[in-house]
Structure 1
């Protein structure tokens, strides 16, 4: 049951709150005061490792992406690819040449990694098979279609006769003989290939190769990317990518990685204040004063103008003023 005095007090306080929060500088001051308190709190004083891990586990690993989110990802990629600015912007406009040069020097300097990769490639059975077929076809093509064979009368006949003689002596056809030779000597050929590749891709040559490639593509418009990405297939390709993630997020492997990664981060930072943690996210005092406060102020103003703040404040003020203790202070009998 309402009472005139308590209702007047409630209305007076609601009017006071409306007036106070209607002042932009007051909102900014309150927000900064909260920030000054919050920035001094340490991570372990506010959140435990279990709370952070459970939040990530529930919101990222346990929650599948919605169909709408997948559609939005595909749409944003499509929008970026078909944007008209891609026709005028060149690759050098969006990628600094200094970074390209550093990248070229970095890649060229990794000679040990490069040699190990070349060795692994040339010693792979697939590479050996490809190399054997390539050499075999080259020899066969030379015998059947060489320039001399076509332009000099009688040479083609001589080549065929030589082939027949060789086949009669070796008691096998030329194709089998060449294949046998290549298979027998493929290890030596692979070793030679490794030497040639290491020579062609030494530090200096690889650096200049990358530099020359940059000079060829730097003036190319960004729209050339559309030549390598089928825009109309984006819903399908993005969905395929999502299927990979949807499976990965449910695996014990990723769950363990996330658990241990979050734990390692928490142990390193649990005694750090939020001031330091926010700086790691590039959020400092200047950003809060100049940006976040400006973003917050319209929200508070909307809460006030829509009466939402007043309605919510009334709920709590009524609980306070109609509590037994407050009514006793005011000298009002409950139910009067």
Structure 2
């Protein structure tokens, strides 16, 4: 005859078996659901991606991104740190490949720049008379140019006189004597006198040259000179530009150009000046586009539904690999285990323990 203790032991054993049965059933259910979800996601990956794009594309940007968010993104990500050495090396390699590519030997400059572009550019430059006159004045009418021209003429005259006097025999000696007498009588060095005379007259000459240049270089003349210059070089291959660069390891032009750009960027990226301009530019752009949908913004980059379909198809192998990956499988399993571990779910499924 069973005692109360025996009955209690049987009940405990029954509870234990029931618990094991429930656990095994739940684990089996979870594994079946994991497999089902992975299979379902594999077949639905592309329509899910397009559905997500259509939903996201309809959302206004301002619902998710603020002007301050964009400011932080640019300041903290782009401007707060210098470009990595890996990226700098990539830039140098790409520049070297494109500049020294063999195809440049067979492509004329005119394929890069159309004649109509040159016509428009030269007409634009030629029409800015005030700026052109300022440039001419800077080149010809300034004191530095006058001083340079004075020294050049002085050395030319002095060299001519010295050479001539040496070959003139007695006449040369007589002229040298006259020069010495002049310097004693006037208490001035003839060289200084000559330089002062040249400088005084050269300044007047440069003013005349500046006036003549401004009068001669009319809008039409400037345009004609630029178009003529382009006509002389437009049929040359793009590789002609390589003549102005050095590819020697100890003096590589690309390295110098890239380093110079980086130096300027590193100086500007921490300056209040650039931060002010970036802030103003972001604010202007955000105020213009904050009501636009994500799809409208993407369309500005020529990313439309057709482009997204192509991208979705291209990324399908990546999506399938991610769905089948161990980390994704474990994540689904943990999520389902947490779901079935809830007391009300267990009771609803008949796995509750009395």
TM-score (norm 1): 0.82
Query: Post-superposition shift, 1:60?
Result: 0.9
Structure 2 CA distance for aligned equivalents of residues 156 and 189 of structure 1:
36
Deviation digits for residues 234-289 of structure 1 (CA, Å, limit 9, x no counterpart): 33542343233222212222222222222222222222222222222222223222
User: Residues 27 and 111 (structure 1 numbering): CA distance in 2 closer, same or farther, change over 3 Å?
Assistant: farther
Contact kept in structure 2, 1:21 and 1:300, CA below 8 Å: no
What is residue 217 of structure 2 aligned with on the other side?
A: 201
The Cα of 1:84 is off from its aligned counterpart by: 1.6
Secondary structure, aligned partner of 2:258 = helix
Q: Structure 2 CA distance, aligned partners of 1:173 and 1:121? A: 31
How do 1:1-336 and structure 2 match up within 5 A? 3-23=23-43, 26-140=44-158, 143=161, 161=175, 164=178, 168=182, 171=186, 172-231=188-247, 232=249, 233=252, 234-289=254-309, 291-333=310-352
How many angstroms apart in 2 are the aligned matches of 1:14 and 1:73? 45
How far 1:140 moved relative to its partner? 4.2
Cα offset, 1:14, TM superposition: 2.5
8 Å CA contact 1:167, 1:174 repeated in 2:
no
* Alignment partners' CA distance in 1, 2:202 and 2:120: 38
Deviation per residue, 1:44-90 (Å, 9 max, x gap): 11111121111111111112222222222212212222212122222
Structure 2: stretches of 5+ with no match in the other structure: 1-19
CA contact (8 A) 2:38 2:324 kept: no
The two structures, once aligned, show a CA RMSD in angstroms of 3.3
Q: Aligned partners of 1:270, 1:222: CA distance in 2, in Å?
A: 43
Alignment size in residue pairs: 327
Which sits farther off after the overlay, 53-62 or 86-95? 86-95
Query: Closer, same or farther in 2 for the Cα pair 1:176/1:60, shift >3 Å?
Result: same
- 8 Å CA contact retained: 1:6, 1:322: no
* TM-score (norm: length of structure 2): 0.78
- Kept in 2: contact 1:71–1:235 (CA 8 A): no
Given that 1:143 and 1:159 are in contact with CA atoms closer than 8 Å, whether structure 2 keeps it comes out as no
Residues 201, 160 of structure 1: alpha-carbon distance in 2 compared, 3 angstrom cutoff? farther
CA distance in 2, matches of 1:94, 1:167: 67
Long gaps (5+) in structure 1: none
Q: 2: CA distance between counterparts of 1:62 and 1:196?
A: 52
Q: CA deviation at 1:300?
A: 0.8
- Bigger CA drift: 54-63 or 188-197? 188-197
The separation in 1 between residues aligned to 2:280 and 2:240, in whole angstroms, is 42
Instruction: Tell me: CA distance 1:44–1:159, structure 2 relative to 1, closer, same or farther (3 Å).
Output: farther
CA distance 1:332–1:156, change in 2 (3 Å): farther
